């Protein structure tokens, strides 16, 4: 299965980002392909570089950074990012800012689009 | 079709709204706060009970059940892990009721 | 190869940005090889009420964009009849989504039943909810 993962909420405030990440781990373990992860609305905050949560809890931005380093395309919507002050200088490595066209391309290239939000 | 609901039925009408579009043979997955709909004996339990009796397979993410101490979901609700969630997505086209 | 994708709008406008940013997705998707259907349902039907005015609230809103949907080839726009009735919104109270390219006659969202919406959903390769 080729999957697009669409994440509509930011880190910690909602469980969406966690559920998405857990789903992706399970899907990849089963050999499915993640065509891409697309962050929209407050989801653009998931890759914030200066995130500094308590040491004994998960570090959400680092999770996405590691996933990106494993070759998954992690895209932050530029329009939603600009609204919220997310710029290339303040996102973790292995993620990129790009347009909604990337979501269209991901969706066209996938068997399923799975949305995580509020 | 696979429907997913992630909000508590006490907080949101998503589960009720979803029920209008559901057909026998569909699957419903409760995740995040949606698993509260699977608690027995609540004022909202009827929503899930009704879906079950109308031929909808109802699932709940086990990690979300245990996080929320919902130890005994309504009979007929099947707990699944994230791998089970992936299998459901593979089996059915999906609509998430956000 | 054209694919059927649906955007479903469930949430009310203005109290959150989902509707406004959903409309931005609609414009972009219409420029790809996508057979796009848009359904306003549940509280999402309130996005189509005519006369919405954000000036006192100091928020720009998306209302002007709605009137440009047809211009940007977002034409398959539907609204759930039951959701309108529940909210006492008359069909006459809905905004136009643009003018017909040939005739200049205003185009309105098509009112459909929940059963029809479900049938449409069954024909999609993907549904993006907002």
Burial group, residue A27, by CB count within 10 angstroms (0-12, 13-18, 19+)? buried
CA-CA-CA-CA torsion sign (B78, B82, B88, B94): positive
Q: How far is C110 from chain A (nearest CA, A)?
A: 24
* Radius of gyration for the alpha carbons in chain A, expressed in angstroms and rounded: 13
Residues C66-76: pLDDT tens digits? Answer: 999 999 999 99
- The total of other beta-carbon atoms located within 10 Å of residue A53's CB is 13
Give the residue ranges of chain C where pLDDT is below 70: 1
CA-CA-CA-CA torsion sign (A82, A86, A90, A92): negative
Catalytic residue among A77, A92, A97, A103: A77
Which pTM does this prediction carry? 0.97
Which CATH number is A2-116's, of 1.10.3720.10, 3.40.50.150, 3.40.50.1820, 3.40.1260.10? 3.40.1260.10
**Would you identify the CATH topology of the domain B2-97?**
Hypothetical Protein Ychn; Chain: A, (3.40.1260)
Q: In the prediction, which pLDDT does C47 show?
A: 98
Binding partners of B (≥3 Cβ pairs within 8 A): A, C
Q: In the prediction, which pLDDT does A97 show?
A: 98
Answer whether residue A10 shows pLDDT above 90.
yes
Residue C45, both tokens: 């039907």
Query: The complex's ipTM?
Result: 0.97
Q: Which residue from C18, C28, C128 is facing A6, i.e. has the nearest CB? A: C128
Residues A30-55: pLDDT tens digits? Answer: 999 999 999 999 999 999 999 999 99
3-class DSSP state for residue C87? coil
Would you call A14 a catalytic residue per the annotation?
A: no
Answer whether residue A22 shows pLDDT above 70.
yes
| Residue spans per domain, chain A | 2-116
Domains of chain C (ranges, CATH numbers): 3-129 (3.40.1260.10)
Answer whether residue B28 shows pLDDT above 70.
yes
Q: Which residue from C18, C126, C129 is facing A107, i.e. has the nearest CB? A: C126
Alpha helices in chain C (DSSP H): 18-30, 63-66, 81-86, 114-121
């Amino acid at each position: 299965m080729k999957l697009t993962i669409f994440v509509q909420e930011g880190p910690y405030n909602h469980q969406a980002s966690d559920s998405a990440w857990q789903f992706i781990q399970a899907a990849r373990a089963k050999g499915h392909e993640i065509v891409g992860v697309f962050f929209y609305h407050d989801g653009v905050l998931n890759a914030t570089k200066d995130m500094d949560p308590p040491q004994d809890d998960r570090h959400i931005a680092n999770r996405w950074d590691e996933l990106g380093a494993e070759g998954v395309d992690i895209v932050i919507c530029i329009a939603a990012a600009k609204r919220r002050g997310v710029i290339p200088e303040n996102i973790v490595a292995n993620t990129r800012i790009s347009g909604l066209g990337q979501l269209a391309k991901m969706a066209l290239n996938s068997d399923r689009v799975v949305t995580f939000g509020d | 079709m696979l429907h997913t609901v992630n909000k508590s039925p006490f907080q949101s009408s998503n589960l009720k709204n979803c029920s209008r579009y559901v057909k026998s043979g569909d699957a419903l997955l409760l995740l995040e706060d949606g698993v509260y709909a699977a608690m027995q004996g609540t004022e909202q339990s009827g929503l899930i009970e009704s879906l079950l009796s109308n031929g909808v397979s109802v699932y709940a993410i086990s990690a979300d059940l245990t996080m929320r101490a919902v130890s005994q979901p309504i009979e007929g609700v099947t707990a699944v892990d994230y791998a089970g969630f992936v299998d459901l997505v593979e089996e059915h086209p999906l609509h998430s009721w956000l | 190869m054209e694919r059927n994708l649906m955007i479903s709008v469930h949430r009310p406008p203005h109290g959150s940005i989902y509707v406004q940013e959903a409309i931005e997705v609609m414009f972009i998707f219409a420029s790809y090889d996508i057979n796009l259907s848009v359904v306003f349902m549940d509280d999402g039907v309130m996005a189509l009420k005519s006369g919405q005015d954000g000036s006192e609230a100091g928020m720009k809103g998306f209302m002007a964009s709605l009137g440009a949907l047809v211009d940007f080839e977002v034409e398959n726009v539907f609204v759930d009849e039951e959701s309108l009735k529940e909210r006492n919104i008359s069909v006459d109270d809905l905004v136009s989504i643009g003018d017909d390219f040939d005739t200049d006659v205003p185009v309105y969202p098509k009112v459909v039943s929940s059963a029809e919406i479900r049938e449409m959903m069954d024909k999609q390769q993907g549904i993006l909810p907002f």
